[in-house]
Structures are given as structure tokens and as C-alpha cells.
Chains A and B, each alone.
Chain A
């Protein structure tokens, strides 16, 4: 099957007074119809910048797409003018934003904010658009939709606002949905509801989803495939099972190891030591090497290529080189992996 979205060698930089910040440094991935790709990584790893770049929403200046292509249904979005892009934005590609408290216009009625895209892209009349807006509000689980349409965002709770943000994104049945931490600002019960809504809609509309998060629990719940980003690069990508049960990159080990667990007996929560590199001067070699317990000499000299682990599973670490010593993930990650296998097995029984 053809890819809905294909990103090849994407580089995004920000020109600051101090110099060029290379926020995204050569990212490749693809998304198929009906598939969910999760992008995980710590703050500053380039997740959000990557999705914003897909939409052409990087503020320029100072940001710019330096290199690479973004093929959406075969057309390169990086070559399009803003005017052409605005015909795709909201219609074929839509975005769900992170913070429901600030993502809605405080001085515009919620109904009008949902209807705006419909009127623009589908040339609907006001009453048709209103009908669709009602449907959407009901779809995302907002009661009293008729009355709610006439209200302003400040009359909604945080969870309700996030539903509105999702309704706006879904308005024109987008083929590709970019969700930038859509549940981070919500409490856990609302989080679960929102994820359900998104899954239902994906099933119904067959849309592809790029799901950005740093919550691995959410990843396990929603993703088909996972890309792990570090310092502006994808360091490991694979099916969700590959990443959780057979991770290869030390950074992925670190991420999994720092996930709190209910049956952990440790007093302290594990954290990856150190902090991410300054992307104004990205390090030579493997960017994660200075923080890694498994770094070898070559990690500080040469950047590792993507090694193929299995059909869909790739990781950029020299540990996968045939000359590298065989290394096992740290103990905590191994117990974690076993624990998860057990949990999911139990889950299957129920």
C-alpha cells in the first residue's frame, strides 16, 4: 500500500542571534492510511517542530525547512506556497494541539470556530456547517451541543475544550491527523476518553495519525508503530511490540527504564543521567553517547547509521554493528519488559 505521508531527510533549523539551532536533523518516516505512528522523546527532541513543519506552521523567520521533502499523497509540501498549503491545512491534514486552555480563540463562539474550516474548505452554507458542527460535538461527546455551540471557550472545562479542539481538527474528515500531545494537559480519566474518541474516529474515517507524546503508557494504548526521537533525529523506529519488547537503542532503554511501575521495589525512580545536547552545536558521533552507559569509542567519533533489526524495526546505534560486543539492556528494563509481557498476557485473558 502506498504511503499517505512520507518524510525524507527533513532538516529544520532556527536562525537565532547565537547561531543556527538545528532542531530537526534528518528525519525519515512514513505513515500509511489508518495507521498510528507515535513519536516519543523528551522535551526538545524535535517532536513538535517536526509536526509543525509538516503543516508549514514553523514561524519563519526564524525557522526554516533547510532540507528534505515532505510527501503528502505524493506531493511535496515543502515546495508549496503558503496559499496552496492553506488549502490543504484543515482539510486534508489537521492538527490537534497540546494546550486546550490557549488553543481556542477566547473571543469567538465555539460553534463559529468549528464552522470556520467547513465554510472555507467545503464551501458549506452557514446552516449546513452548523449541522455538521452539531454532529462533531456529539461525536466527541459533548452534551447539549445545540446550546454549547453558542458559548465561548471560557464556559468550557479543560477536558471539554480539548474535545472542541479535536472537533475542529476532525471537521473536514482529514486524511492525516497530527496530534501534538493531545492529552498531556488533561487528567487521566479524561485522557482515556479522548483517546477512545480518537480511535473511534480513526476507525470510521481511516485516517492516518501522527501522535506525539512523551507518555509511553499512551503509546502502548494507541500506536501501531513508534519512532523514538533524540536530539532532532529518529534513533529507533519499529512496531509498538518491537519498541516495548525488543528495544535496541540505549536511549529507548533509558526511556522505558524511567517509566514508573506499580510493582517496582526500587525506592528511587530511574532517570536518564545528564541532559540533551545543545542543538546549536550538535555533538559528533552518536548524540546520546555522553549520557549512555553503553557508549563505545566509535560513538564519539562517527554517527551510527540505521541498522535493520527486522522488517519494520530499525535503530541507529553502533551496538547493532556486527563487530560490537553483545550487550543486554539494563536489569530494570529487562524486568520491565517481562512485566509488560505478563501484564498484557493477563490483559488478554480478561
Chain B
């Protein structure tokens, strides 16, 4: 098991290196230069600035320098923010995004799974239709519409929670709710379908024949078997939630990474683009690893045997 994880970590490093290489060269293909007001600078001045950041070197040299820095944990300096270190900016910006992402993911999954389970237990009843309705609404209406509604009612009209900004935990409530709608919808839909399918399988009849009651069948026998597909879809969803969403962060004035990332692309801030991409990739690969380990935990048939 330990060996397996170590092996996976080595593959992870190789993958990251490949991603770094690809991103580096693709990024250089972006139109424009990092200079925001190139036309106001003389050619000489431009050359000085480019020289300072090593942008006059041949591409292979730039690439080699970047990768060397990467191995030393140095992601470089940002072009646009007073030469601040990319690492510092990332850490600062990732905090709010990941907090919102994790909170909405946990809340959304729990509520969604419960809704889906209830829908499956009371199949074709009021609860089922209600849960399906919520799921359809959650999936089809964009989150910024919910954000607006939440801000207006919970924030302005009833004054329960702060409407925007980032000054304490209570400020996370509304954006978390707005973000959670989507995972709720996804989890509820999948859980219902999976559970209904599992409840139709032979081993559930066996359990019923043993005298296990309706709830025992769902929670003791059904849930674990229905979870695999849920986990599969929740992985990528987790990444997209935690890496920040431009729209929600803008609406709630959250200083998150989503906005930062888009801005850095528009201004050709190479080090930030690289840093953010690598961080997102790292997060994604890490979550895939966690999902693979979870599979084994849930389903003994996928579990590694001692020999592996």
C-alpha cells in the first residue's frame, strides 16, 4: 500500500513536470507582451525591462531557468504586483477560494446524498418529485442567479448574513450556499439513480429475506454499493469548486484565486499563470489519487492485494 502511494507520487511529479513544460510553451504563444503600456516606452526602455526579467534570453534558456527554479521551490516574481513572489500571492489568494470550495463541497454532498437517498426510498412519491425538482433547478439555473437571490433576501431584506467582503467566517456563508447548489443537484441526481439501481439487485432481496427492514437495506447494504459513481463525479467537481469561481468571487467581493487567474492571463503575467496552473494541476492529481484510494476503501473488489 505504502509502495503503491509512493509510486503514484513519483508519477505525479512526472505529470506535473509535463504540465509545466506544456504550459510554459503554450503561454509563450499568447499574443502581447507583459508590458502593460508598451507604446509609451521607448524601445530601449522596453529592452531594459525585458532584460531584467530574463525575457530576452532564448526560449530554451528561459525554460531551463524556470524549471531549475521550480525544483528549488521558486515560482518566480509576479510582473504586475510590485514584484511580489508568486508563492505569496498564491497562498494569500488560495485561502478564501479553498475555504469556500471545501465548505460548499461538504455541505452540497451531504445534502445532495441525503436528498437522493430519500428520493430512492420514497420512489415515485412526493419526496422523490420534490428532490428531483430541486436537482433540476440547481443544475439548470446558474449559480450567480442564486447568489443574487441569497444576497437580496438573506443579506439585505432580512439582514441575516453579510452581503459581501471577506472579514470573518460569517462572510463565507452566502457564497458557500450559492456554490453548494450545484453539488447538491449533482449528488442528489446521481444518488437517486444509483440507489434505485442497487435496490433492484439480488443481494438486496437476500437482505430483505433475512428480515432487514427498509432503512437497514438502504443504509447498511445499498449506500456503500451506490457510492462509487458518486465519488467519481465528485472528484472533478471538488477541484472546480476549490480552484475558485470567477463569478461568485466577484459577486461577493471575495479575494480569491479565480479573479486573479483571469487577470494574469489578460496581462501576460507569466509567473502567475504558471504558478496557478501548476497549483491547480497538483490539486487535481492529488484528488484523483485520493479518489483512487477511496475506491479501494469502499469496494473490496478494487482494493489492492498484499502482493501489489
Contacts and interface: CB of A to CB of B under 8 A. Distances in A.
B209 A152 contact: no
A165 B206 CA distance: 8
Contact of A97 (B202, B213, B299, B301): B202
B213 A104 contact: no
B266 to A, nearest CB: 49
A281 interface: no
Does more than half of chain B's interface fall in helix, strand or loop, or is it mixed? helix
B298 A107 contact: yes
Nearest to B224: A107
B205 interface: yes
Interface residues of A, number: 30
B203 interface: yes
Interface in A102-156: 102-108, 116-117, 120-121, 152, 154
Given A108-B221, A154-B301, A103 B211 contact: no
- Chain B interface size, as a band, is 20 to 34
Interface string B209-243: 11111100000110011000000000000000000
B72 interface: no
B229 to A, nearest CB: 14
B140 interface: no
Interface string B181-216: 000000000000000000001110111111111100
A99 B205 CA distance: 12
Q: Would you list the 8 A-B pairs with minimal beta carbon distance, nearest first?
A: A90-B211, A90-B210, A102-B202, A89-B211, A152-B300, A117-B210, A95-B209, A105-B203
Contacts of B208: 57, 86, 89
B209 A105 contact: no
A108 B219 CA distance: 12
B202 A90 contact: no
29 contacts: A86-B208, A88-B211, A89-B209, A89-B210, A90-B211, A90-B212, A94-B209, A95-B209, A97-B205, A97-B206, A102-B201, A102-B202, A102-B203, A103-B202, A103-B203, A103-B206, A104-B203, A105-B203, A105-B207, A105-B225, A106-B225, A106-B300, A108-B224, A116-B212, A116-B220, A154-B301, A165-B206, A168-B206, A169-B209
Interface in A46-65: 55, 57
B210 A106 contact: no
A165 B202 CA distance: 12
Contacts of B300: 106-107, 152, 154
A83 interface: yes
Interface in B262-308: 298-301
A121 B210 CA distance: 9
B222 to A, nearest CB: 9
